[in-house]
């Protein structure tokens, strides 16, 4: 065999080997970065509140509140069952209010802990979860509803809460 054919063969083998090594390296790097991205991904929750009224008497109704929590992230979210709650405030209708600050301008009426009797509650990855609470309220009034869902961060960690609010006229 001539020298030029040997060098051509060596060049072709080197090119194929370089392509294979480069491909393996690119695949490894992509999988490593994807794994790290998923590990570090911030949890994301989309949520909204639904309400309905059922007349009880002429002056009272049952207010049913359903909170819908959509965990759109790739990670499970553990919920703090002791601190998560729904709170109802009575909105004053006799004041000329331009901006409504629920905690300072509204009268707290009731507080419910829908998860307190559970030891653990998990919003699974890519799942939709519904929690419901019922309150007996006076008819002819306006109520502000605030639902807070706390994330269980573990021992010594600061809790994070998702909050949803809605105004309801009875």
Could you tell me if 36 and 64 lie in one domain? no
Q: Answer whether 166's CB lies under 8 Å from 145's CB.
A: yes
Could you tell me if 33 and 91 lie in one domain? no
Could you tell me if 3 and 80 lie in one domain? no
Could you tell me if 36 and 103 lie in one domain? no
Could you tell me if 50 and 35 lie in one domain? no
Q: CATH number of the domain that 125 lies in?
A: 2.60.40.1470
pTM over 0.75: no
Return d(Cα 12, Cα 6) in angstroms, integer. Answer: 10
pLDDT at 104: 86
Q: Which residues of 125-158 are buried (b: 16+ CB within 10 A; e: fewer)?
A: eeeebebebebebeeeeebbbbbbbbbbeeeeee
Could you tell me if 151 and 74 lie in one domain? yes
Could you tell me if 149 and 93 lie in one domain? yes
Work out how many domains the chain is built from and give that number: 2
Could you tell me if 13 and 51 lie in one domain? no
Backbone conformation region of residue 10, classed left if phi is above 0, alpha if psi is from -120 to 50, else beta: alpha
pLDDT at 131: 95
Single out the residue of 160, 147, 162, 143 nearest to residue 111, CA to CA.
Answer: 147
**What are the backbone dihedrals phi and psi of residue 79, each rounded to the nearest 5 degrees, phi first?**
-100, 135
Could you tell me if 69 and 103 lie in one domain? yes
Range(s) of the domain holding residue 164: 45-169
Cα dihedral sign, 165-135-92-168: positive
156 pLDDT higher than 70: no
Give tens-digit pLDDT for 1-41: 576 777 888 888 888 888 899 999 998 988 888 877 766 66
Return d(Cα 46, Cα 162) in angstroms, integer. Answer: 9
């Amino acid at each position: 065999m001539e020298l030029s054919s040997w060098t051509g063969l060596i060049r072709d083998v080197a090119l194929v080997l370089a392509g294979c090594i480069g491909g393996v390296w690119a695949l490894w790097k992509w999988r490593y970065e994807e794994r790290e991205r998923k590990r570090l991904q911030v949890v994301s929750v989309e949520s909204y509140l639904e309400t309905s009224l059922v007349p009880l008497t002429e002056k009272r109704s049952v207010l049913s509140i359903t909170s819908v929590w959509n965990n759109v992230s790739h990670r499970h979210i553990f919920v703090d069952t002791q601190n998560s709650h729904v709170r109802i405030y009575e909105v004053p209708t006799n004041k000329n209010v331009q901006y409504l600050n629920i905690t300072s301008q509204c009268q707290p009426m009731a507080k419910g802990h829908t998860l307190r009797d559970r030891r653990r509650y998990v919003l699974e990855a890519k799942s939709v979860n519904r929690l419901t609470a019922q309150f007996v309220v006076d008819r002819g009034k306006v109520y502000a509803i605030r639902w807070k869902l706390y994330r269980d961060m573990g021992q010594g960690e600061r809790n994070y809460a998702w909050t949803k609010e809605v105004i309801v006229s009875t």
